[in-house]
Structure 1
Amino acid sequence: MKVVACTWMLLSMCLLGHCLLVYGEDNEAQVLDDFLNSRLSEKPSPVIRFSARFDVNTDSIQPQDGSMETDKISALPGQPDGVDFNHYSGYVTVDSEAGRALFYYFAESPENSSTNPLVLWFNGGPACSSLVGAMAELGPFRVNSDGKTLFRNNYAWNNVANVIFVESPAGVGFSYSNTTSDYQSMGDKSTAKDAYTFIINWLERFPQYKTRDLYVAGETYGGHYVPQVAKIILHKNKKSNQTLINLKGIAVGNGVIDDRTALLGRYDYFWTHALNSDETNKGIHTYCHYFDDRDPEQCANFIIKSSTERGHIDEYNIYTPRCQLNSSSSIKISSDSTNFDPCSNHYMLSYLNRAAVQTALHAKASAWEICNRSILSGWTDTAVTSLPIIKNLMSNGIRILLYSGDLDSTCPVTSTRYAINKLKLHIKSAWRPWSTDKEVGGYVVEYDGLTFVTVRGAGRLVPSYQPARALTMISSFLEGALPPPFLIQNNS
């Protein structure tokens, strides 16, 4: 990725005692915020195309060190009693010559694991770990505030699917390469290629899943990752004239699907939710012409002004309190997956950096981090839009779910709606509320080939903020149905 120096330098300035690039440790929101803002005054990149020289060979099975038996986890340190499912973790080599391997955590369903579909999950960033999904969102466990013990997530997605969390690309989390130059040449293409190679080789390790329905899902920059790996799967199935991977659908939450609409939707969300002034909103629309390179310096100035006006809020969820771990006012919520603790990242960092935990996970000892910014300096390619890929997937019968927590400001619901509108789809089922536990869970509209769902009261990490609603949503999608309609109760 080419970064405009002027914009990047301005974004790196310290304001009000805080550097824009550092509010504690990195997380997806901060990394993605910087990544997208750096592109506001860039010229557009071409849509990612997978050329013949980049093709993934159908015989690309790599020599592996691991096996299903050795990857099985006997117990995680501090896990609660009564764990009634099998879980596995380890490495899948995606390039034996380079020594590049991706780390995964796999949780089978407690019931119906032999028939439930597979879900392959990617967190975004780019360059952020999918163990965030496993340990703070949709995985079977959450980390308690002691950073040493776990509690059960009653709304985990492995209740309805067998879920694989893969840390991608190499250099993220426990994933690695023995070829250091790999870290200077990451990008959308290489990430998609490695993800495809991962799942092909993972299925060799778990052959009982080879014919199972597969859904690829993810959030934020997963709006790039998910459609791109799905495109390769579809291409390789056609090229080999057989179903190598039984892809059925994709799901993207609060995703970066189209950079133009992502940026437009973000700043419109700031303004419509009273986070920016009229003057700043006008300045953004005047000078930040979304890759037209009209006035990058003025654009960068208004980006900084926008950030100053918003203050130090949690942009994952604009109404949630920020973590104040060292303050007596810090909110401490644990052992209850229905409430989201804003300090969860700290607990997860502590837990995953414990030597006993890394041993139990079969991970190579390393300092685990949520995101790895260093590999972004060499991010060699990124597409302006995933919409053509999504359109192609739809035309080939792949089911599409786009969903948005409506309190996220960095990849907001407005951005997703603007992106969908560019597809000019025919509405199949009109906009309506849907329900969980007799409450409005959000809103849904079904188009030909694509379903859009909002999750009411959820931030960026939808399963973290609204776990019950997220489980209802994904369960319905996997069943090929829309979320259940909201019915007004007659108490008379």
Structure 2
Amino acid sequence: MFSLSLALIAVLLGSVYCAPVEDLIANLPNLVEPLRSKNYAGYLNISADKQLFYWYIESENDPANDPVVLWLNGGPGCSSLEGTLLEMGPFRVFDQGKTVARNPWTWNRLANIIYLDAPAGVGFSFYNTTKKTFNDDQVASDNHDALVLWFQKFPERKNNSFFVAGESYGGTYVPTLSSLILDKKQFPSFQGMLIGNGCLDDSLLFNSGILYDYYHGLTDETQFRDVINSCCDNSIACDFYKNSFGFSKCANMTNDLSESKYYSGLDPYFLYFKCYLNEPNYDRPDEMKAAVQERRETGKPSIQKRRIVQKLDSMPSCAHHNDYVAYLNMPEVRTALRIPSYIQNYSSCSNVIAMKYVSQYTTMTPFFQKIMKAKKRITLFNGDVDSMCNVVHNQQFIKNLNRTLLMPSTPYVDYKQIPSTIGLQTKYDGVELVTIVGGGHFPAVLAQKPKETFQMFSNFLRNKSYSTQVDDDKPPVGKAAGYRSIITSFLMILITIFLQFN
């Protein structure tokens, strides 16, 4: 009886969607309003010991024709469900998960987005071995294998335009995966990549970071001058990165200077956020997250790594809105997402992965050159008050690619704001940078610049001027929307009943 019912549901769904019934999310607890598009979640078994969790949310506009975007959060070792529930996904979680409101500036208004927990062991993904290894090439290979499996589940999306996107350490994940996509030639609809606040070059990031912190008033003047005078031949045009290696006096002085941001009491990911600490506290998760990033910047452990490593899943509320973590650990939410009982509790980032991860590349330049040669689109976007992967480093990175300048730094606008400038765009042959004024490391989050980031994303997808205005969020209207909603609700009820009794 139940098998027959499931078969009937599958036939009905197949007539409307070519997607896996077993992965369709029938309901989500504590929603303020119904879902506006199909949500799917499940596992991509890339090997006997690796299962990558995905959450796929269809476009609310025209899923059959809108682009498919793979989204990867950074770390390394952080979950992409942060994107789903905190950044550009259609949800905003409040009250420790008791309320899930709509994000009016969700990117799913325009695109089909796959949020993938990678590498294995991050978020709800699973890595069933005691000999865990993590490096850039392995993660790129695993992510590519996951995409192959995902498109097998959703073959109707193979002809949609396809982009790879990510942020932070996604500045490594995205180019390395994009390069592999070009090599393997299994995704002919691949169009290019979008990277937000990416960490792209260790030397540029370290050197620009010291000057960025200094000019933002985060550095003690005497300390700064001591390094310049003692280690840089009295010149601010200094290769701080080169001086930072080893155990010399200059190496220690330079590394101490680079850590100024961590002692400021400000959130280094969003300097304008009101998050003041009474004193340095190395047990605070926000400092530990910064310590993980600093290891990426310098290529060696930070001073914080020599202390007891704390969990990252209890961010202080003043620095990071963390209610979504509590939400994902609710039993009813795990049930709705069909998370098996053997899967670990959800945490936003994994210390184990972060500390074991081997960063193989000090610069993404060869990958960018390869992708540009293939005539694929490359767009970088940067919130300009992020001190972790600062905007100056991205400006210098694309300048050093030695491409023809097509548009010098030019304001783009939102005419509904005063002042109207919301960022600057710089365009070279094959690559462009779009800044978001007042945005931090995660500019799409509610506390930063969600509308401005949505405008950037909308015009990136449509290849339009970044000053092209975007509409406010509106509920679906019309007979087609109503018909689709009725069918969807009916099918979800049938699936829910089946799951309860089977």
TM-score, normalised to structure 1's length? 0.76
Would you say how many aligned residue pairs link Structure 1 and Structure 2?
A: 395
* Aligned residue among 175, 193, 200 for 1:250: 193
- Cα distance in structure 2, aligned partners of 1:293 and 1:268: 15
Moved more, 199-208 or 314-323: 314-323
Percent identical:
31
* Aligned residue among 167, 185, 189 for 1:219: 167
Which structure has the bigger radius of gyration? Answer: 2
- The Cα of 1:142 is off from its aligned counterpart by 1.1
Equivalent position of 1:450 in the other structure: 431
- Cα distance in structure 2, aligned partners of 1:421 and 1:201: 37
Q: Does 1:320 align with 2:273?
A: yes
Instruction: Assess if the C-alpha contact under 8 Å between 2:71 and 2:113 holds in 1.
Output: yes
Q: Does 1:189 align with 2:170?
A: no
Kindly provide the amino acid, as one letter, of the partner of residue 163 in structure 1: I
Unaligned 5+ runs, structure 1: 1-66, 238-242, 325-340, 487-492
Instruction: Assess if the C-alpha contact under 8 Å between 1:257 and 1:416 holds in 2.
Output: yes
Say if 1:78 and 1:294 are closer, same or farther in 2 by CA, change over 3 A.
closer
Equivalent position of 1:406 in the other structure: 384
Q: Does 1:348 align with 2:299?
A: no
**1:60-139 superposed matches below 5 A:** 68-96=20-48, 99-139=49-89
- The Cα of 1:302 is off from its aligned counterpart by 4.2
- The Cα of 1:482 is off from its aligned counterpart by 3.2
- The Cα of 1:353 is off from its aligned counterpart by 1.2
* SS state at 2:464 partner: coil
- Cα distance in structure 2, aligned partners of 1:211 and 1:140: 24
Instruction: Assess if the C-alpha contact under 8 Å between 1:200 and 1:245 holds in 2.
Output: no
* SS state at 1:290 partner: helix
* SS state at 2:97 partner: coil
Equivalent position of 1:270 in the other structure: 213
Q: Does 1:165 align with 2:123?
A: no
- The Cα of 1:186 is off from its aligned counterpart by 0.6
Equivalent position of 1:394 in the other structure: 372
Instruction: Assess if the C-alpha contact under 8 Å between 1:433 and 1:485 holds in 2.
Output: no
Say if 1:308 and 1:460 are closer, same or farther in 2 by CA, change over 3 A.
closer
Equivalent position of 1:179 in the other structure: 129
- Cα distance in structure 2, aligned partners of 1:216 and 1:106: 14
Instruction: Assess if the C-alpha contact under 8 Å between 1:432 and 1:485 holds in 2.
Output: no
Instruction: Assess if the C-alpha contact under 8 Å between 2:240 and 2:254 holds in 1.
Output: no
Kindly provide the amino acid, as one letter, of the partner of residue 236 in structure 1: K
- Cα distance in structure 2, aligned partners of 1:389 and 1:156: 29
Moved more, 113-122 or 81-90: 81-90
Equivalent position of 1:55 in the other structure: none
Q: Does 1:479 align with 2:431?
A: no
> Structure 1 segments of 4 or more deviating over 6 A?
none
Higher-helix-fraction structure: 2
- Cα distance in structure 2, aligned partners of 1:311 and 1:362: 42
Instruction: Assess if the C-alpha contact under 8 Å between 2:76 and 2:353 holds in 1.
Output: no
**1:282-431 superposed matches below 5 A:** 282=225, 286=231, 289-291=240-242, 295-298=246-249, 299-304=251-256, 307=259, 310-322=263-275, 342=318, 344-365=320-341, 366-431=344-409
- Cα distance in structure 2, aligned partners of 1:294 and 1:177: 34
* SS state at 2:241 partner: coil
Unaligned 5+ runs, structure 2: 1-18, 233-238, 278-316, 470-502
* SS state at 2:400 partner: helix
Equivalent position of 1:260 in the other structure: 203
TM-score, normalised to structure 2's length? 0.75
Instruction: Assess if the C-alpha contact under 8 Å between 2:411 and 2:422 holds in 1.
Output: yes
* SS state at 1:368 partner: coil
Instruction: Assess if the C-alpha contact under 8 Å between 2:207 and 2:240 holds in 1.
Output: no
Q: Does 1:232 align with 2:180?
A: yes
- Cα distance in structure 1, aligned partners of 2:340 and 2:449: 33
CA RMSD of aligned residues (A): 2.1
Kindly provide the amino acid, as one letter, of the partner of residue 333 in structure 2: V
- Cα distance in structure 2, aligned partners of 1:129 and 1:223: 15
Say if 1:378 and 1:306 are closer, same or farther in 2 by CA, change over 3 A.
closer
Instruction: Assess if the C-alpha contact under 8 Å between 2:227 and 2:253 holds in 1.
Output: no
- Cα distance in structure 1, aligned partners of 2:159 and 2:276: 44
- The Cα of 1:443 is off from its aligned counterpart by 0.6
Instruction: Assess if the C-alpha contact under 8 Å between 1:193 and 1:229 holds in 2.
Output: yes
Instruction: Assess if the C-alpha contact under 8 Å between 1:103 and 1:166 holds in 2.
Output: yes
